[in-house]
Amino acid sequence: MKTEADLAVNEKLTGRDFLKLADYSQHELMHLLQKADELKQKHKAGAHVEPLKGKTLGMIFEKPSTRTRVSFETGIFQLGGTGIFLSSDELQLGRGESMADTAKILSGYVDGIMIRTFSHDTLETFAGNASIPVINGLTDLYHPCQVLADLQTILELKGQLNNIKMAYIGDGNNMAHSLMIGAAITGMDMSIAVPDDYAPESSIVQKALDIADNTGSQLEVLSDPKAAADNADVIYTDVWASMGQESEAANREKNFAGFQVNTSLFGVAKDDAIFMHCLPAHRGEEVSADVIDGEQSVVFQQAENRLHAQKALMAALMS
């Protein structure tokens, strides 16, 4: 049975956008994670929960995807609604129609929009002109849906987020940005190890530090992977060259030498540490096969939780 507090949070979330984690309070994020766990347990038990019956989610993709498309499309279906895949090449966007016009038009057709795109400014422009909830499926700056699933996974395996240390090893990219903000909001400690010239955006680091001042989270950006991984509960990495950076791959491989998560690096973490990766992974580059395919890897539990976390998000925003 829903409490008055639950109903109050639900009311605050209905109709909101989900563009970045920093727009949400600790209480709101924990509410979403609790809802994600409830929906997962009901799904595993074979129960049908359809709060979005008759609702439609439009899904705009300027970047291709496996996990984002399948998890959102499956998730809206399981919630009783319908998902429509909208490739930017197939929309009038591909022929010059503006994001603002597209947002206004789609607002009259569907009940929510998920966008996976390159520029975060593009997402902000769309959301600023839409009258329906807009969800960030990924931009070059943030990947909040992935981190929502990551936090759910850590909660499942560790039972808490505060007093947990995550070490992120690799590129200071959209994953590093969202993980920092997510850690700061939930009170999780985080050490980031990045090569010179690949640090996270300084403004986002400062934002995370400002949030951490209120939650007790300890955040640091280092250049030594072993120092970051020392005594960590979670080791996390991502590809060295993200989508759109293929031309930099060879140069990045040289610059990231020494930042591979392998058994030597993993060995300085806690004995019961878990390995996480947002996928897809390049075995032999950012992570060795024996780590990602080892017993302490939880990458496929993470991937599955994209479905449940995003169901909780859609149910909250679109109901």
Q: Which residues are annotated as a binding site for carbamoyl phosphate?
A: 65-68, 92, 116, 143-146, 278-279, 306
- DSSP string of 163-184, one letter each residue: T-EEEEES--SHHHHHHHHHHH
Alpha helices in the chain (DSSP H): 4-13, 26-44, 67-78, 99-107, 120-129, 144-158, 174-186, 202-215, 225-229, 249-255, 263-266, 289-292, 299-318
With 0-12 CB in 10 A as exposed, 13-18 as middle and 19+ as buried, what is 135? buried
The H or E element containing residue 137 is: strand 134-138
Neighbours of 105 (CB within 10 A): 14
Task: From the candidates 120, 143, 177, 252, give the one annotated as an active-site residue.
Answer: 143
The two tokens of residue 221 are: 């950006």
Check if the beta carbon of residue 188 is closer than 8 Å to that of residue 161. Answer: yes
Task: From the candidates 278, 302, 308, 310, give the one annotated as an active-site residue.
Answer: 278
Residue 116 annotated to the active site: yes
Task: From the candidates 78, 146, 152, 260, give the one annotated as an active-site residue.
Answer: 146
Task: From the candidates 31, 177, 277, 306, give the one annotated as an active-site residue.
Answer: 306
Burial 268-283 (b: 16+ CB within 10 A, else e): bbeeebbbbbbbebee
Residue 146 annotated to the active site: yes
Binding residues for L-ornithine: 174, 238, 242-243
Task: From the candidates 31, 78, 111, 116, give the one annotated as an active-site residue.
Answer: 116
The two tokens of residue 296 are: 């302490």
HSE value, Cβ hemisphere, 13 Å, CA-based, for 166 = 33
Task: From the candidates 111, 150, 233, 238, give the one annotated as an active-site residue.
Answer: 238
> Cα dihedral sign for 169, 175, 179, 181?
positive
Check if the beta carbon of residue 31 is closer than 8 Å to that of residue 14. Answer: no
Residue 306 annotated to the active site: yes
Residue 238 annotated to the active site: yes
Provide the 3-class DSSP secondary structure of residue 17.
Answer: coil
Binding residues: 65-68, 92, 116, 143-146, 174, 238, 242-243, 278-279, 306
**Residues labelled catalytic:** 116, 143, 146, 238, 278, 306
